[in-house]
Structure 1
Amino acid sequence: MIIDAHAHFLPGGYPEGSPECFPSMEPIDGSTNRLLVFGATKFPAKEVFFEAERRIEAQDASGVDSEVISPMPPLLKYDLPAADGLALAQHVNDVAAELSAHDPERLIGLGMVPMQDPDAAATELAAVKQRGLAGVEIASNILGSSIGDPKFLPFFQEAERLGLSIFVHAMPAPIDRLPNSAMGTYVVGIEGMYSAASLMLGGTAAACPDLRISFSHAAGGLAMMLPRANYFWGGSWNEEPVNLERAVMPDDGPSPLELARRFYYDSMVFDARAIRYLVDLLGADRLLVGSDFPAMLREEPIARTARSLELEPEQWEDLSHRNAMRWLGRVPAEVAAV
């Protein structure tokens, strides 16, 4: 069984009378596709983005048993007025629920909330759960603020209380040290690292030990920095016993690696060597299959690079689907016992 834990959807349209700042889905002559227009964003969206039947057909063609579908990241537009952001989130969440209702076992929906208003975002989580959605997707930064900022802690605490899953999608943030061409590559890697590190350093990870949260693209560069962070914390190389005489910034709390191993990470990192490092450092029980479909083409077959590692059977079972079930809070009793 394979669960694709990083895939996206778009609404096929928006209600009449929607605020002018809402997106639009414009028809494309001679095609069933539509053009997403949202501010400066113009994105041709294939029918598979918004038609459930096409989605199931695409799963079958790729060997996918189930998808966790989250809003296409441009919809996470936090510079909208808070009331408009809430209205947009509610419409997107209705669409996610409709898609999921087509086949709840194969389409597992995540919604969105207006993170530009943390109180409203936390309040809206109850409605997300009532719609039957598994959780929400948020961006790696909120108008330039790290998600580990204390102002977002009540939101994460409410998600933990309600048992909802969080998917953090890396989103470019303004940076003047790299050209714009790096926004979708290097900056996304930086953003992933910032978002996960901010939850660890800001206290959210410690305050919410039961929060089920995953990061797109393995949280970017986080894994490469964790051994250094662990050395600063406890003065040890290679996770040897703590040596506080060498520790630069000793701390009696959980180690950075321990905190990082509370998170989940999709393994869409484009290289078998990188996945192997993630398995060795974080554990196969922390990794998910992800594809970014249909914004990007899936590997054929799905998870081809991860399969090439020839993991132990238990490790492959974890990575291919059991970790996704744990992250979603849908673990069958026999899997929970493993």
Structure 2
Amino acid sequence: MSRPPTVDVHAHVLLPEVEALVDGLPGRAEARALEARRAGPAALAVSGPMVRARLPELTDPAVRLAAMDAQGVDVQLVSPSPSHYHHWADEETAEQVYRLADEATAAHCSAAPRRLRGLGLVPLQHPQHLVRALDHALGQGLLGVEISSHAPGRELSDPAYEPLWTRAEDTGALVFLHPFGCTLDQRLDRWYLSNTVGQPVENAVALSHLIFSGVLDRHPGLKLIAAHGGGYLPTHIGRSDHAWSARSDAGAGCARPPGSYLKRIYFDSLVHDPGVLRELVRVAGPDRVLLGSDFPFDMGTEDPVGALRAAGLADADFHAVRGGNASALLSTE
């Protein structure tokens, strides 16, 4: 049998059209100020030049494809940079943002449709628009949508999001959970803790909301992919299982121990540690881990296949994570 293509499910595109749309609008300056406070000045001083240096990879499909060739990656699942979420936006602006983001991402991927598959956006701050937004993304030929770990005043366990989970399950759409920012705010404003600690925390909190609230009980067919290996949750799931069994308040919302739900979630492999990756494969199952690089940002890996190989997985598991699982999920074969 031929081996499946190598598929990277965590790769981003930058959409200048979206930023031009929101530039100068009421609320944008306040949102940027909040982002700056959360990250801190030292992080901003590094991040700005880093992103500018990577603009060709983020915006030019030809440059992206050449980089994929160098990495040995056949297919990327391309999602908008999380900086395009703009959860501060009012209803009218939010609709313009997701429509423009969907269309621009689809156009970027159209340069090589067999190698570049895309995801759109939905405005989590306006739950009444989520189904329509998901349908718009699918209508553009995208495979689903990317979401953050929360929206202002709402966690992913909020009942207002039930129509989104139902529609995504019914259509088979992918939902890629990728946080942007952390509500620990200025506690993480030095040493890039806003990312190194903040992102794994946000992943763990968001997934816990989906598990403990029963969302995954009600929507067993939901195709949910968690970035950054699900953050801290998979390696600390024993504490969640203990709470579920020891406390009535913890066990009230979901039918089974929390650890059992890890086998219903897909996780990318971007954990930066071979031992952690082996543990992720153990607790979630080798059929639930997908190759991810965070292309082309500096918190990703330039050699996702090499990082996977370093985990020393069994040959069948290595090839499942390298591309077999994602090929089936994305229907790339």
Q: Is TM > 0.5 for Structure 1 vs Structure 2?
A: yes
Q: In 2, are the aligned partners of 1:119 and 1:155 still within 8 Å (CA)?
A: no
Deviation at 1:98, TM superposition (A): 0.8
TM-score (norm 1): 0.83
Number of residue-to-residue matches in the alignment: 306
Q: In 2, are the aligned partners of 1:167 and 1:216 still within 8 Å (CA)?
A: yes
Q: In 1, are the aligned partners of 2:98 and 2:133 still within 8 Å (CA)?
A: no
Deviation at 1:12, TM superposition (A): 4.1
Q: In 2, are the aligned partners of 1:115 and 1:138 still within 8 Å (CA)?
A: yes
Moved more, 192-201 or 274-283: 274-283
Moved more, 184-193 or 308-317: 308-317
Higher relative contact order (CA 8 A, sep 6+): 2
Q: In 2, are the aligned partners of 1:285 and 1:318 still within 8 Å (CA)?
A: yes
1:6 equivalent in alignment to 2:17: no
Q: 1:308 to 1:120 in 2, by over 3 A?
A: same
Equivalent residue of 1:102, what SS? coil
Q: Which residue identity lines up with residue 175 of structure 1 in the other structure? A: L
User: Which residue number corresponds to residue 183 of structure 1?
Assistant: 194
User: Which residue number corresponds to residue 133 of structure 1?
Assistant: 142
Query: Could you give the per-residue CA deviations for residues 30-59 of structure 1, whole angstroms, max 9, x where no partner exists?
Result: xxxxxxxx9457552511211111111111
User: Which residue number corresponds to residue 117 of structure 2?
Assistant: 108
Q: In 2, are the aligned partners of 1:264 and 1:327 still within 8 Å (CA)?
A: no
1:199 equivalent in alignment to 2:210: yes
Q: 1:122 to 1:188 in 2, by over 3 A?
A: same
* 2: CA distance, partners of 1:175 / 1:298: 22
Deviation at 1:179, TM superposition (A): 3.3
User: Which residue number corresponds to residue 41 of structure 2?
Assistant: none
* 1: CA distance, partners of 2:326 / 2:15: 24
Q: 1:218 to 1:144 in 2, by over 3 A?
A: farther
Which of the residues 155, 163, 170 maps onto 2:164?
Answer: 155
Q: What pairs with 1:1-338 in structure 2 (closer than 5 Å)?
A: 1-13=5-17, 20-21=24-25, 39-40=32-33, 43-44=51-52, 45-175=54-184, 178-181=187-190, 182-234=193-245, 247-249=246-248, 253-296=255-298, 299-328=301-330, 330=331
Deviation at 1:86, TM superposition (A): 1.2
Deviation at 1:112, TM superposition (A): 0.4
Q: In 2, are the aligned partners of 1:195 and 1:219 still within 8 Å (CA)?
A: no
User: Which consecutive residues of structure 2, in runs of 5 or more, have no partner in the other structure?
Assistant: 36-47
Deviation at 1:18, TM superposition (A): 6.7
Query: Could you give the per-residue CA deviations for residues 156-201 of structure 1, whole angstroms, max 9, x where no partner exists?
Result: 1111112110000022232268232221111211111001110011
4+ residue runs of structure 1 moved beyond 6 angstroms? 15-19
Deviation at 1:305, TM superposition (A): 2.2
Q: Which residue identity lines up with residue 100 of structure 2 in the other structure? A: H
Q: In 2, are the aligned partners of 1:5 and 1:289 still within 8 Å (CA)?
A: yes
Moved more, 276-285 or 170-179: 170-179
User: Which residue number corresponds to residue 241 of structure 1?
Assistant: none
Point out the structure with the larger strand share.
1
Point out the structure with the larger helix share.
2
Q: 1:103 to 1:144 in 2, by over 3 A?
A: same
Q: Which residue identity lines up with residue 126 of structure 1 in the other structure? A: D
Q: In 2, are the aligned partners of 1:322 and 1:331 still within 8 Å (CA)?
A: no
Q: In 1, are the aligned partners of 2:262 and 2:283 still within 8 Å (CA)?
A: no
Moved more, 158-167 or 40-49: 40-49
Deviation at 1:23, TM superposition (A): 12
Deviation at 1:300, TM superposition (A): 4.9
Q: Which residue identity lines up with residue 289 of structure 2 in the other structure? A: L
Aligned-residue identity in percent: 27
* 2: CA distance, partners of 1:108 / 1:100: 6
Q: 1:223 to 1:92 in 2, by over 3 A?
A: same
User: Which residue number corresponds to residue 35 of structure 1?
Assistant: none
Deviation at 1:304, TM superposition (A): 1.4
Q: Which residue identity lines up with residue 64 of structure 2 in the other structure? A: R
Q: Which has the larger radius of gyration?
A: 1
* 1: CA distance, partners of 2:237 / 2:125: 29
TM-score (norm 2): 0.84
